[in-house]
Structure 1
Amino acid sequence: MKPLIEGERGGGPSVEGAVLVGALGLVVAFGIAGVRVTMAEAATSQAAASAARIASIQRDPAAAATIAEDAARGALSQRGIACAAVAVRVVVDDDDGLAVVRAEVSCDARWSDLAIPGAPGSYRTAASAVSPIDPLREHE
């Protein structure tokens, strides 16, 4: 490396500014990614709770799965979460005499628009919730 001549500077303000702007851009992108993960996890948890509750009040198990999936997707879209893929699984468990509905929801939250070097295109969040089936409701 060549020694600097007296009075000569190693880099101009424009070089320092470019490096600072690049670093600041990465910090902002990682901050946005962190907020998106937190929001996606909260929305996925809420979607699972909504899906379990709506499925637990349905009389037809086949219709319950479809309605639960619609409820989960609706809860995610209401919170403004754009998922690349959404999966909803509804299971009815009646092993110990107390029937419950378990809803499992997963969402692949998009990161591709953040342009973070080395980051995947999406981040998967998953949540499950359980809701009891009312034993006193009328059956058809």
Structure 2
Amino acid sequence: MKSDKTNRHAIKTLRLILEELRGISDLLPAAYQLVGKIDEDGEIDLPESSIESEDVEIAVSALVSTVAETCDINDEPSSISELFTLILSSGDDLVSLAVNFEDCINGYSGELFGENLKLAQSYLDSIITVIEERLAK
């Protein structure tokens, strides 16, 4: 059984991660209200949302660095999934959600848009929800 000190540290760490993830979520275009133009047929034409993939990767890197520094993690992880593995366990649901999120945002040069952007937002929302549920317990 974990000590109260360990549990308090885990809760503090999850709160910090949650705050940082909410900031990343605010970067994604889904956080903005889209304003479309009405075409000649009376239909609203919404521009496809996009964001530079590098902007998301930089924000994720900053999250990992902030948490590693705050939590005195000696060997800084290179990704959110590695961070979750270090502070939780390799079999935790948050690790697999983070891997899926990273697959959506990594390896693309230029803009992140379309299905990858939607999936990235969905996985990020799921990670946030899982952390919120754990903190509510």
Query: TM-score of the superposition, structure 2-length normalised?
Result: 0.34
- Structure number with larger C-alpha Rg: 1
Higher helix fraction (1 or 2): 2
Higher strand fraction (1 or 2): 1
